[in-house]
Chains A and B, each alone.
Chain A
Amino acid sequence: MDLKSLTIDAARSAVQERKTTAVALAEAFYTKIDSDDPQIGAYLTLSKDRALTKAAEMDAMAAKGEKLPPLGGVPVGIKDVMVTRGVRTTAGSKILRNYIPPYDCTAVARMEAAGAVMLGKTNCDEFAMGSSNENSAWKPVHNPRDLSRVPGGSSGGSAAAVAADMAVVTLGSDTGGSIRQPASFCGVVGLKPTYGRGSRYGLIAFASSLDHIGPFGKTVKDVATVLQTIAGRDPMDSTSADLPVPDYIAELEKPVRGLKIGVAKEYLGEGLDPEVRSAVANAVEKLSKLGCEIVEISLPHTEYAISAYYIIATAEASSNLARFDGVRYGYRASDAKTLSEMYRRTRDQGFGAEVKRRIMLGTYALSAGYYDAYYLKAQKVRALLTRDFDEAFEKVDAIVTPTSPTAAFKLGEKIDDPLAMYLADIYTVTANIAGIPGISVPCGETKEKLPIGLQILGKHFDEATVLRVASAYERATL
């Protein structure tokens, strides 16, 4: 079976109709991973036993003529920040080098309950902190479209695995753009749902008020199918919303004629690469031809988003990462004589440079004398940024922007300049700050054949419109 452009429907129906078996399909993906992943680095851990057991279960169902669930036999990859019972989970960090979780992340459990075959855990920036995947404590990920370039981050392995046909779909996490930006860099589709659309239970926390789980796929439909699977209230996550989940696949078919699409000048300003600008302008033109009404809007506080984001995200991170102390699980420094020495050395030796930088920045922002000036100030600016979107969505149904100001940059290009790396998230952090859904879909290439991404943002809990616009655009550009 040709793994290139293999979609959920094609994989599932091939298993259902016994044209192949789920076991053979999983084996084919492992063969592909064995041959190609040494150059790319998308996977950290393979979970062959678990995958083949699930695949055999799906084959048994198909053999009996039973209808397979929506992801029946579909090979998937899971970002290594989601815990998996019995399968090593490191969050890309040496401090969790040998961690074998005793429970499953809800999103993973829902994927497997829907028949998905988990091939393994995908590479990422340490604790999902990064925009290039170069902060993985284990190895960098190389962009499948150009091995000298980064795949984006922090879900670089999940994006690269889909782009390089080493999984049909994958799950990633997005705290400031960590799904949408790598999707854009690798030329695949990536969706960050609304905050609360699904469960964060079992997602190793980076910044709890900004963290989201979401899918990568080759098509908008595949991403919609995975969202359908992982969405919905979970009693184990009190922030998951108790709201009905629409039929996203049915929504994809609805026409986009008459929808109002906002274009914000603040997302087309200084620092935007000319090739990205023109690709996005062409996409807007295409949406207009499809019958959408293009409306100029303003999101006036956008220029303050990165500043507010990096205070809130690091403040929450400094608190969340306090749990890594070498007592109950994970790495412990062996040379300490007292408990407090043990904590310090464990964290010094276990965390990488970027994680320490963020813990320091967050602790500083929360410390006595600076709390009001930084943390409280950032929370107020968060309210202003959210109000910007509320006002815009009174006028429009969705907003389109570039996903990232540039196409994929070179490995090593920004690694010594943390501020430059943070500014790469300029168009994506706002959706995390406000909690609104956003998708990145491919919208052309640069002269150097690097993919460019179009970001489509929607109202809270209106993934349906975001997916509908993305799907219409995708069909129009096939």
Chain B
Amino acid sequence: MRVSEKDVAYVADLSNLELSEDERGRMVRDLNSILGHIDRLNELDTSKVEPMAQVSDRYGTPSPQHGGAFDYASREDILEGLRKSLPREEALANAPDSDGTFFRVPKVIER
């Protein structure tokens, strides 16, 4: 077993999850089963392989000025952006709680 109950509690904490007692037990079982399969990756020698984070560097058209693969993705800075910011009422319309100007949340710091 590579993932213990303690690991699950730690990772749940990092993930902003609490998880019930039952969920934790199940998570130990499931993560071990999945990671057991994933361990096959160690059969491969990847010491000389560069990691690949995404595919979009394959279709970039480098510009003469910069020559970078992602030049197509940049643009001149403009004041308003491509789309205007949402009006405040719209931005707050889905809020679980607000005072009409700000999102309202429970206390951050106990005095």
Question: Which residues of A are in contact with B by a Cβ distance under 8 Å?
Answer: 98-100, 102-103, 195-196, 208-209, 235-236, 238-239, 241-243, 301, 303-304, 306-308, 310-311, 318, 322, 325-332, 336-345, 347-348, 351, 353, 356-357, 359-361, 363-364, 367, 374, 376-384, 386, 418-419, 422, 434-435, 460-461
Contacts and interface: CB of A to CB of B under 8 A. Distances in A.
B22 to A, nearest CB: 10
B17 A348 contact: yes
Contacts of A342: 105-106
A348 B15 contact: no
A318 B58 contact: no
Contact of A378 (B41, B97, B107): B41
A254 to B, nearest CB: 23
B53 A360 contact: no
Given A327-B105, A347-B16, A357-B30, A195 B56 contact: yes
A363 B14 contact: yes
B78 to A, nearest CB: 11
Interface in B66-111: 70, 72-75, 82-83, 86, 90-91, 93-97, 103, 105-108, 110
A88 to B, nearest CB: 11
Contacts of B43: 304
Interface string B29-65: 0110111011111111010011111111011010000
Contact of B17 (A330, A356, A378): A356
Contact of A308 (B23, B34, B41, B96): B41
B90 A102 contact: yes
A415 B19 CA distance: 20
B53 A379 contact: yes
Sorted nearest first, the 7 A-B pairs with minimum C-beta distance are A435-B55, A329-B94, A379-B51, A332-B96, A380-B46, A238-B73, A383-B52
B7 interface: yes
B19 A384 contact: no
Interface residues of B, number: 62
Nearest to B40: A307
Contacts of A377: 41-42, 46
Nearest to A303: B40
Given A242-B61, A301-B44, A435-B55, A380 B18 contact: no
B74 to A, nearest CB: 8
Nearest to B8: A360
Contacts of A209: 53-55
Nearest to B59: A241
Contacts of A239: 54, 56, 73
A266 to B, nearest CB: 14
B16 to A, nearest CB: 5
A288 to B, nearest CB: 31
B11 A367 contact: yes
B31 A196 contact: no
Contacts of A328: 91, 94-95, 103
A344 B18 contact: yes
Of listed A306, A322, A325, A348, residue having the most chain B CB within 10 A: A348
B106 A364 contact: no
B54 A381 contact: no
A457 to B, nearest CB: 14
A345 B96 CA distance: 14
B53 A364 contact: no
Contacts of B83: 103, 236
Contacts of A338: 106-108, 110
A363 B3 CA distance: 13
B73 A374 contact: no
Given A342-B106, A348-B19, A380-B50, 8 more contacts: A301-B44, A304-B44, A325-B16, A327-B96, A327-B103, A332-B97, A356-B19, A383-B52
Contacts of A357: 27, 30-31
B96 A310 contact: no
Nearest to A366: B14
Contact of B12 (A322, A360, A376): A360
A304 B40 contact: yes
Nearest to B34: A419
Contacts of B94: 98-100, 102, 328-330
